[in-house]
Structure formats: C-alpha cells, structure tokens
Amino acid sequence: MIDIQMIAVVVLIALGISAAVLKRNMIKVVMGIGVMGSGVNLFLVSMGYVEGGVAPIFTNTPNLTMVLATPQALTLTSIVISLAVTALMLSFSVMIYSKYGSIDTRKRRLKE
C-alpha cells in the first residue's frame, strides 16, 4: 500500500527542485527551495506518525498512544532554519535588484 503522504513528499520535492533549477526569477528560486523544505519536513513528520496517536506531551496524556516526539523536534528546528535561509536569500535578491534593477538570473555579471 502506498502512503498518501509519501506521494505528497515526492511531488513537493520534485516541484521544489524543478523550480530552483528551471526558473530564472530569483524569487521563484527561493520559493522552490521553500517548497522543497516543506516536502522534507513532511517526510520527517510522517516518519514519526503513529496510527491514532496524539501530540507527544507526556504530562497531558500519560496513557494514550503518542506520535514520536523526535521527528517533531527535528521538523521544528528545520522550519526555523528554512526561515533563516529564506530571509537571507530574499535579502540577497533585494541587494541584487537594487544594483541591477532586475532579478532575472540571466542578467548576471559573474561569468567565467
């Protein structure tokens, strides 16, 4: 049986990579990486999913099945990191736009 969330993971990562590789607008490249990050985060969370589990707060629900706590902690950290990365890349785009008046990657100056 194929898990539905794994299909979503594959679609999100594929969309993210294709946007990052094929798009020429820098903002779209940043969006692609964001989408890809969401795909990876979904993958991590679904790794720790337990059928019928609740949120892993032990003191609230000592007797119920809980989903695994570690992937959730990982995902939280990873979301924070993607936020920093996205903000940094967008600020680079701002710098490039204010210098060249364009965020098209074909109009770049760095060449061999």
Partner 1 sequence: MIDAWLEFCSQNAPALVIAIPLIAAFATPLFSRISEKVRNIWVVLSLLATFRVTATLLHNVLDNGQVVYTLGASVPSLTAPDGFPFRIILQADAMSAFMAIISVSMALIVCIYSFRFMGKKSGLDKYFALLLVMTAGMIGLVTTGDLFSMFVFLELLSVASAAMIAYYSKGESAEAAFKYMVVSSIGALMILFAAGMLYGQYNLLNIAGLAGVIEFTLIDKMALVLLFSAFALKCGAVPLHMWVSDAYGEAPAPVSAFLVVASQAGLYALFRISFTLFGGLPGIATMGWAMIIFGLLSMFVGVTMAIPQKDIKRLMAYHAVSQTGYMLLGVGVGLAVINDMGSLALFGKSAMEGGIFHVINHAMYKGLLFLTAGAIIYRTGTKNLNEMSGLAHTMPLTTIFFIVGALSIAGLPPFNGFASKLMIYESVFLFNPLFAVIAMVVSILTLASFVKVFHSAFMGPKVSKSAKGGEVPLSMWFVMGILAVLIIFFGIFPDVMLDNLVTPAVDALLNQAGYIGGVI
Q: Which residues bind partner 1 (CB under 8 A)?
A: 13, 17, 20, 26, 29, 33, 36-37, 40, 43-44, 47, 70-71, 74, 77-78, 81-82, 84-85, 88-89, 92-93, 95-96, 99-100, 108-110, 112
Residue placing its CB nearer to partner 1 in the complex, 47 or 64: 47
* Shortest CB 94 distance to partner 1, Å: 9
**Shortest distance, position 11 Cβ to partner 1, whole Å:** 14
Nearer to partner 1, 8 or 20 (CB): 20
Are the C-beta atoms of 36 and 16 separated by less than 8 Å?
A: yes
Q: How far is the CB of 1 from partner 1 (least distance, A)?
A: 16
Cα separation, 9 vs 13, whole angstroms? 6
Quote the least distance from Cβ 51 to partner 1, whole Å.
15
Query: Cα separation of 83 and 78, whole Å?
Result: 9
Closest CA to 73 of 109, 102, 98, 48: 48
Q: For residue 107, which of 26, 22, 19 has the smallest C-alpha distance?
A: 26
How many Å apart are CA 67 and CA 2, to the nearest integer? 20
